[in-house]
Amino acid sequence: MENLFFEEKQNFRQIFIWIICLLLICIFLWGFIQQIIFRIPWGNNPSSDLGLMLFGLIPLGITILLFTLKLTTKVKEDGVYFKFHILNSKFKKIGKEEIATYSIRKYKPLEEFGGWGIRFSMKKNAGRAYNVSGNIGIQFELKNSRKILIGTQCPDKFKKAVDDMMK
């Protein structure tokens, strides 16, 4: 059995995301009640009842997706493993032998990567990011020149685990 040096599970927890989701659900719930229960058409150009119900499932589905999405990061003796539950069926691995350098890095999620999730850089040579909240991660620069940033709420523990793995 392989040594597990570090494990972290993170969920989306930005309050503004939950406020937006709740607001959208409430708007469509109001439209549903007005049009389907009270039979008062909702809006200037009302949709069909079925269209309203189907369109209302979009914010509900996004909210459920965000609630269930989770980033799990593990550091084992042979590499760093990470997975977005629901989006990835298997863990992705950065093998110990692939890593050229790594460091704790503060970053700007919106400016550099356009937000949180599985993101490509908006800036040249910043690589790819896997994050769910916050603005601190471990930046891995691989021997093939690729860069991968993994967000963390425990940067010192994560880095120490990578230090231990690399020995």
**How far, in Å, CA of 31 to CA of 49, rounded?**
10
- Condensed to tens digits (0 to 9), the pLDDT of residues 118-144 reads 898 867 677 999 999 899 999 999 999
- Condensed to tens digits (0 to 9), the pLDDT of residues 144-155 reads 999 999 999 999
Give pLDDT, residue 65: 86
Whole-model pTM: value is 0.82
Count structural domains, the chain: 1
Largest CA distance in the chain: 69
> Where in the sequence is the domain holding 128, given as residue range(s)?
1-167
Q: Within 10 Å of residue 122's Cβ, how many Cβ atoms?
A: 13
